[in-house]
Amino acid sequence: MKKLSLLVFSCFIGSLSFAQQTATDISIIPEPVKITRHVGLFTLPKIVVVQSSSQPEMTSILDLLKKKFSTAAGKTVSVKATAPAATIKLVLNKTANAIIGKEGYLLSVNSKGITISANEPAGLYYGVQTLMQLLPKEIEGFEVAKNVNWTVPVVDITDYPRFVWRGLMFDVSRHFFTKQEVKHFIDDMVKYKFNLLHMHLTDDEGWRIEIKSLPRLTTVGAYNAKREGAFGDFIPPPADEPRTYGGFYTQNDIREIVKYAKDRFVDVMPEVDVPGHSLAAIAAYPQLASAAGADQYKVRSGEKIMDWSKPGHPALVDNSLNPASEYTYEFLDKVVGEIAQLFPFAYMHMGGDECAKNFWEQSDQVKALMAKENLKTMEEVQSYFEKRVEKIVESKGKKFMGWDEILEGGIGPNAALMSWRGIQGGIEAAKMGHEVVMSPTTYVYLDYMQSDKITEPPVYASLRLNKTYEFEPVPDGVDAKLIKGGQANLWTEQVYNFRQVEYMIWPRALAVSEAVWSPKAKKDFTVFFPKVEKQFARFDLSETKYSPSVYDPTFKAIRNADKSLGVTLTPEVPGLDIYYSFDNSSPDRFYPKYTSTLLVPIDATQLKVVTYKGKQQVGRMLIMPVEELNKRAGK
């Protein structure tokens, strides 16, 4: 970049150095509404003076500034109510700016310092998160960085979110994650302006929230037998094997998590997944099931309990609550009542997905219910259940939400819908006048593999970063006012620890953040991905695990007319060189470079590939067995 003469102003609050700069030195995710780059850099002084009010909502904002500047930059932060020459001014507008709304902000950097203004403290918080991305990457470190020029580009930014619902779902049921890990999850998501944490608290593998009136939900339902490997195919634990793997959140834990999130302008939505996915509850209270013999059931440890190869995915054990039993609704009244007191958020998610109905079909109680209520199908039976649960939720002052299966048999009058099996369910619900959050597997299921299955924990589908970036929450022909926003989901069957949580979330959640915050017209993957690469450097400094799979090529096996085996390698992003070997050695950039379809040597057993950007290795060494390529190519 061509340099101009430097003009330096020095005073106790800092200095401004001018240089010919372009917008390319600004890299912010999610992309702001408007960025106007000016010439120059503002240099932070040794003592950073922050002008701010002292109202309680400002505490987390000021704590963030203090922590970052002292830990990484080695600077002293002084907060004053009035400071005309402040380094950073945090200004709450006396007259609301109608353009930026409740969560937007204006950020201005000039020769005198930095000013962030907003209508509400949430906007100031997001403005400070943007400021962190304007600073050198070393701001993400855990120790004072040496030889860093702590400068900020001279810039004006106008920014506000596209949607009010910007969510991430964290499944803490399949594997239990500690209270501290949930807080860490919140700290990571707010960097990219997510504002909704959806906690999937109950499932077949564990009940994770204390219900004081139903203590067996946690003494029994929160624990199973530890297994590691390919979830879903584990050997069923013997009856006498200790069940000590798991855990739960006490009600005080939940209050602490909710407050921690609120201080960071995040709402927390609980999910109790019923009527299906309820084996942990049934193991604790067998009278919830419609099947005989449920008193012998145990919390699932990852063994097979449903047959996904058959229509309706019949259950091998009854993991669905009995919709014909009044005890079920008395149970749910207690559960919903206690949970509603813990979560201030207006919505409560009650699941509704993947409910196996084969045990209902065999139940005399259910048959009697169908005759009494004139229900013709099992879908109508579930609809009967959902509408009764909706009334329970509403009686506790909350709004009922469920997965898109709640449409089947007839959706309740006031229900909100989360569309996961694609977007069609969301379209249908919106056209009926219901609120919708889009969360389709097609784009935002973060449990899916990110690269070829030879490198990833086995899951039944793949989802690349560039596909996630295509996520658009508002379908054509739908009233946008009914689409509250979008959400990405991390199911954790194959996620055993928090480092793997990070690996699965990042960088794909960065793509989701732009889908739910940034203007639709500004979305551009060719602009987005270079920003992602800059975030990788920040992740390294913050010791956040992330997936480098965007650098992994896609393998396509080809059976040629002469029965020989070919393979094509397709990079996900431009600018990569792929090098390969068939001789069992590990290639680097001095090996053959891939340029067109490869012919697999007749006696080769494996293909190794690695990707470079120029002289720098960016991709992992991938080892593709030739046997696997032959399977994919077919006869």
- The residues near 196 (Cβ < 8 Å, ≥ 6 apart) are 165, 166, 167, 168, 266, 267, 268, 269, 485, 487
- Supply φ then ψ for residue 22, to 5 degrees: -125, 170
Within a 10 A sphere around the Cβ of 377, how many other Cβ atoms? 12
Q: What is the largest CA-CA distance in the chain?
A: 87
Query: How far apart are the C-alpha atoms of 207 and 279, rounded to whole Å?
Result: 9
Burial of 244 from C-beta contacts in 10 A (0-12 / 13-18 / 19+) = exposed
Residue 82 token pair = 């009035």
Strand duo 565-570 + 483-490: pairing: unpaired
**CA nearest 360: which of 326, 320, 306, 327?**
320
Residue 49 bridge partners (DSSP)? 78
**CA nearest 175: which of 447, 491, 514?**
491
Type of residue numbered 203: D
* HSE toward the beta carbon, residue 352, CA cutoff 13 A: 35
- The residues near 259 (Cβ < 8 Å, ≥ 6 apart) are none
Query: How far apart are the C-alpha atoms of 468 and 472, rounded to whole Å?
Result: 9
Residue 400 token pair = 């009922």
Let me know if 271 is a catalytic residue. no
Query: How far apart are the C-alpha atoms of 258 and 344, rounded to whole Å?
Result: 8
Q: Mark residue 211 as left, alpha or beta (left: phi above 0; alpha: psi -120 to 50; beta: remaining).
A: beta
Q: Which of 138, 140, 210, 354 is catalytic?
A: 354
- Supply φ then ψ for residue 477, to 5 degrees: 80, 10
Query: How far apart are the C-alpha atoms of 199 and 461, rounded to whole Å?
Result: 23
Query: How far apart are the C-alpha atoms of 92 and 124, rounded to whole Å?
Result: 8
- The residues near 44 (Cβ < 8 Å, ≥ 6 apart) are 14, 69, 73, 75, 87, 150, 151, 152
Burial of 147 from C-beta contacts in 10 A (0-12 / 13-18 / 19+) = exposed
Query: How far apart are the C-alpha atoms of 618 and 394, rounded to whole Å?
Result: 52
Q: Three-state secondary structure along 543-594?
A: CCCCCCHHHCCEEEEEECCCCCEEEEEECCCCCCEEEEECCCCCCCCCCCEC
Distances (CA, A) of 202 to 170, 322, 445: 12, 17, 18
DSSP 8-state symbol, 524:
-
- Residues annotated as catalytic (active site), given as ranges: 354
